[in-house]
Structures are given as C-alpha cells and as structure tokens.
C-alpha cells in the first residue's frame, strides 16, 4: 500500500463485501493509528474512548481483514503483512512489448502486453461494424457500489486501449481493492468505441473451449452469417472482452 488512504479504501471494500456495511469511525481510527505505528493507549486517547474498547474492536477487525488476506493479523504484523502482499514496481520497458507501471489504481499494478507489430488504427469496415450500436453484455459483472476518483489512471487505460491499441491488459491487486470497479468505470467511458463489449467471470467456466463457445455465441447474435472462430470476430470488429476471476483458473485441482 502507498499510504493510509489506500489502506482505508481496501479495508472498507473488504468489510463491505463481508457485512454489507462500511468501516465505522472507530475502525478507521484503529487502522490509521496502527498504520502510523501508534499503540492502543494512544489510539484510545486520540479517539476519546477506553483502551479496552479499542482492543475489542481491533480484534474483530483483524479477524475480518485476516480472512481476506489469508493471514493471522494483529496490531504488530498488520502493516508488514499488507505491505508484503503488495509489491511496488517502477516503470520499466522490455523490448517495447512489456510495460509495467507503478500507479495508484486502487494501489495495484496495471501491466500491458503488446504484440511486436503495432495494430492498425482501425479495423476494416464491414457491413456488421458500420453504423452499429455497441452490443454490451455485463451480466457477469459485480454491482458497482463505490468508486473513488481515479482520473489519471482511467486516462492511462484509455490511452493504452484507444490510442496505443494495446491488445491485452491485466489489472491485479489485493482482493476487494477495486479492480472490477475501475473496469466498470472504463466501460462506461469508452463503450461507444467498440462494436461488442462482454464481461465474463471465469468462476464457472471449466475450460477454454467453453469460454470460446460462449464468446462466439455472443458475437454471432448480430451476424447474418456467423464467422468461424472468435479470432475472426476480433479481426473484423472492435471487441472488448473483460475476463474476471482469473485466479479461479489458476487454482490447482
């Protein structure tokens, strides 16, 4: 995490996902104090309550946040455990095909991978792409409840997609930090630039062939003559595909 504001944002998302409620003022005071390496007596004094009350609330808070991180948290290891989960990387270029940025999109990395050959400025016009409204399917997307101002990061994403024609972008970070939120906001701002936009959760998709079949069914619904493969749709139309829950296909078993 870069600062205590990022910690509070992440913790608020985790607590909301678990309980449907936001961080309370006392929970914010505990997180802020512990992140600043204050002891419970000082936090209690700052918040004008008893130390025993701070300890009681902190114990419940560490349990909830620890469940999300998969760690046993306490006031002594909270900061180090969170910082260990989050790694910071400086801007680097590798053969013009890999760009890795340390930015503040919900305190996480964005990594883009581009093909060696630049993509053409616009796809070839076809009868299907001319004067066609964007076809959107985001049924699998989570509900956007809170979104914090990420103007500069959205600008970067839009540049990569619309100007640099980056073909693959990954957004990754701690659970509950807001990866899906920024993807949904991005769709809202650039949806008119695409012929098709679909959000697929990989949580219930067992194989790559299943994913390909579902994508092809989505793309073909507006086609009088369906194309042979998903790649053919990518070549002939402007398609934006968001794959969520990628971690599920990396699990063993």
69-105 pLDDT, tens digit per residue, is 888 999 999 988 887 765 432 222 222 322 233 333 3
163 and 219 both lie in a single domain: yes
Per-residue pLDDT, 191: 92
Per-residue pLDDT, 29: 95
What's the rounded mean pLDDT across residues 184-207?
Answer: 89
Per-residue pLDDT, 73: 93
208 and 229 both lie in a single domain: yes
Structure-token pair, residue 132: 């066609």
Which is more confidently placed, 5 or 103?
5
pLDDT one-digit tens code per residue, 109-162: 344 433 433 443 444 333 333 345 889 999 988 877 666 667 777 888 888 888
24 and 98 both lie in a single domain: no
128 and 245 both lie in a single domain: yes
What's the rounded mean pLDDT across residues 45-74?
Answer: 93
Per-residue pLDDT, 226: 82
What's the rounded mean pLDDT across residues 178-182?
Answer: 80
Per-residue pLDDT, 149: 66
173 and 121 both lie in a single domain: yes
State the average pLDDT for the chain: 77
CB 62 within 8 A of CB 15: no
1: Cβ contacts below 8 Å, ≥ 6 apart: 7, 10, 82, 83, 86, 107
Among 37, 56, 85, residue at a domain's last position: 85
46 and 170 both lie in a single domain: no
Number of domains in the chain: 2
What's the rounded mean pLDDT across residues 52-75?
Answer: 93
Rounded Cα gap, residues 112 and 175, in angstroms: 20
129 and 244 both lie in a single domain: yes
Among 65, 85, 105, residue at a domain's last position: 85
Per-residue pLDDT, 251: 58
Per-residue pLDDT, 216: 92
78 and 106 both lie in a single domain: no
Which is more confidently placed, 86 or 41?
41
Structural domain of 77: 4-85
Among 59, 85, 111, residue at a domain's last position: 85
178 and 232 both lie in a single domain: yes
CB 82 within 8 A of CB 1: yes
CB 126 within 8 A of CB 173: no
217 and 101 both lie in a single domain: yes
62 and 112 both lie in a single domain: no
Structure-token pair, residue 166: 């980056």
146 and 213 both lie in a single domain: yes
Per-residue pLDDT, 94: 26
Per-residue pLDDT, 209: 85
Per-residue pLDDT, 125: 38
Q: What percent of the chain has pLDDT over 70?
A: 73
**Lowest-pLDDT range of 22-36, 76-90, 92-106, 176-190:** 92-106
Rounded Cα gap, residues 47 and 58, in angstroms: 13
- Going by pLDDT thresholds of 50, 70 and 90, the confidence category of residue 171 is confident
- Going by pLDDT thresholds of 50, 70 and 90, the confidence category of residue 197 is very high
CB 61 within 8 A of CB 31: yes
């Amino acid at each position: 995490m870069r600062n205590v504001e990022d910690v509070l944002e992440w913790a608020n998302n985790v607590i909301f996902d678990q309980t449907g409620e936001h961080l309370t003022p006392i929970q914010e005071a505990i997180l802020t104090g512990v992140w600043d390496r204050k002891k419970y007596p000082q936090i209690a004094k700052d918040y004008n309550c008893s130390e025993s009350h701070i300890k009681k609330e902190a114990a419940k808070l560490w349990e909830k946040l620890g469940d999300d991180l998969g760690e046993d948290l306490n006031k002594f290891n909270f900061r180090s455990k969170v910082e260990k989960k989050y790694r910071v990387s400086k801007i680097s270029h590798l053969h013009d095909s890999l760009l890795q940025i340390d930015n503040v999109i919900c305190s996480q990395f964005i990594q883009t991978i581009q093909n060696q050959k630049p993509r053409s400025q616009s796809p070839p016009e076809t009868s299907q792409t001319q004067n066609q409204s964007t076809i959107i399917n985001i049924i699998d997307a989570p509900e956007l409840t809170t979104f914090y101002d990420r103007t500069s990061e959205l600008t970067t994403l839009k540049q990569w997609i619309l100007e640099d024609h980056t073909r693959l972008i990954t957004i990754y970070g701690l659970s509950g930090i807001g990866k899906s939120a920024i993807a949904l906001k991005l769709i809202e701002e650039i949806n008119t630039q695409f012929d098709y936009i679909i959000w697929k959760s990989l949580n219930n998709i067992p194989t790559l062939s299943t994913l390909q079949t579902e994508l092809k069914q989505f793309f073909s619904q507006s086609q009088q003559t369906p194309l042979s493969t998903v790649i053919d749709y990518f070549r002939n139309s402007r398609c934006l595909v968001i794959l969520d829950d990628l971690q599920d296909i990396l699990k063993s078993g």
